[in-house]
Amino acid sequence: MIAVANQKGGVGKTSTAVNLASALAAGEQRVLVVDIDPQGNASTALGVDHHGGAASIYDVLLRGTPLAQVLVASPNQDGLWCAPATIDLSGAEVELVNEPKREYRLHEAIGDLRRHLRRLGEPPLDYVIVDCPPSLGLLTLNALVGAKEVLIPIQCEYYALEGLSQLLRTIGLVRDSLNSELAVSAILLTMYDARTNLAHDVVREVKQHFPTEVMRTTIPRSVRIAEAPGFGQTVIAYDPNSTGALAYREAALELAERTGGDRG
Ligand SMILES: Nc1ncnc2c1ncn2[C@@H]1O[C@H](COP(=O)(O)OP(=O)(O)OP(=O)(O)O)[C@@H](O)[C@H]1O
Ligand SMILES: [Mg+2]
């Protein structure tokens, strides 16, 4: 389970979550995207209905509904499922505050889902990818507590590293107290524009600070990536040969290498 997290808004979390998931599913992996952002952008990109009132991750986190009951297969791609987020989730941060085991809700729901699939004799999920909201509240905390890895997208812009130390501190706190297995598996540079000096500077700086975490693959700025959600599609489905789709496929391969060997 990989949490795609960065409390900075608009850095490419959702694009990364859905396009990596789609690329992994295209490579015969069974992938679940859990949308825990009330904006529901990942659900939109996967072509999954998330109007208010639809069965969603809100029901799982707040009402104890089994995850299996809210999953929807993405029409984009075989082997790809989504647990959608609706606008109901916007109240969840507050509603969860007084609930028992509030940080463990997602972790437990995913454990139950894995056991459920095993009982049915279904093949296990290879990847669960969680698209986090742009905050470090209880929703993101649920993702960090359930995950084995965190993937941090960083936009190649000014202030790219701002807030990163706070994110890393939060990850460290979660590791110390709630989930000792948690690791930062990768940092992915997004919206890279090779024509600007700024992009080169950001890449250099991030690599200097995080030589092992930064992925070889960078995601270029690509209109196709931005257009695809408007058609309820990932860029992998929308324009499979675009530079954006190729970059996310390459990033998926790299991620599989990094996380390979102990999936299941
Ligand atoms: N590589 C890219 N090239 C061009 N546009 C991109 C790229 N990646 C993302 N975008 C666009 O940038 C915007 C922000 O991206 P995205 O929604 O993936 O970020 P986010 O971190 O999930 O945002 P939020 O914090 O609001 O959840 C979107 O409009 C998206 O379509
Ligand atoms: Mg998002």
pLDDT tens sequence across 91-127? 999 999 999 999 999 999 999 999 999 999 999 999 9
pLDDT of residue 55: 95
Cα of 4 to ligand 2 centre, how many Å? 9
The identity of residue 6, as a single letter, is N
Cα of 120 to ligand 2 centre, how many Å? 33
* CB distance 217 to 187 below 8 Å: no
Measured CA to CA, the distance from residue 178 to residue 157 in angstroms comes to: 33
pLDDT tens sequence across 166-185? 999 999 999 999 999 999 98
Cα of 245 to ligand 1 centre, how many Å? 14
The full set of domain ranges for the chain reads: 2-259
From 6, 7, 14, 36, the mutation candidate for ligand 1 (largest count of ligand atoms within 8 A of CB) is 14
Measured CA to CA, the distance from residue 225 to residue 31 in angstroms comes to: 20
pLDDT tens sequence across 30-59? 999 999 999 999 999 999 999 988 999 999
* CB distance 14 to 131 below 8 Å: yes
Q: Is the domain covering 2-259 a CATH 3.40.50.300 domain? A: yes
pLDDT tens sequence across 217-261? 999 999 999 999 999 999 999 999 999 999 999 999 999 998 874
pLDDT tens sequence across 64-96? 999 999 999 999 899 999 999 999 999 999 999
Q: Give the residue-averaged pLDDT of 141-153.
A: 97
| Confidence category of residue 161, pLDDT binned at 50, 70, 90 | confident
| Confidence category of residue 263, pLDDT binned at 50, 70, 90 | very low
pLDDT of residue 264: 34
Report whether residue 233 contacts ligand 1, using a CB cutoff of 6 Å: no
Residue nearest to atom 9 of ligand 1 (CA): 12
What DSSP state is assigned to residue 135? S
Report whether residue 8 contacts ligand 1, using a CB cutoff of 6 Å: no
Report whether residue 152 contacts ligand 1, using a CB cutoff of 6 Å: no
Residues 6+ apart with CB under 8 A from 227: 238
pLDDT of residue 52: 85
Report whether residue 234 contacts ligand 1, using a CB cutoff of 6 Å: no
Q: Among all chains, which residue has been given the structure tokens 């489905």?
A: 237
Measured CA to CA, the distance from residue 11 to residue 206 in angstroms comes to: 14
User: How is the beta sheet containing 149-155 ordered, strand by strand?
Assistant: 72-73, 80-83, 31-35, 127-131, 2-4, 149-155, 183-190
The CB density around residue 30, as the number of other CB atoms within 10 Å, is: 18
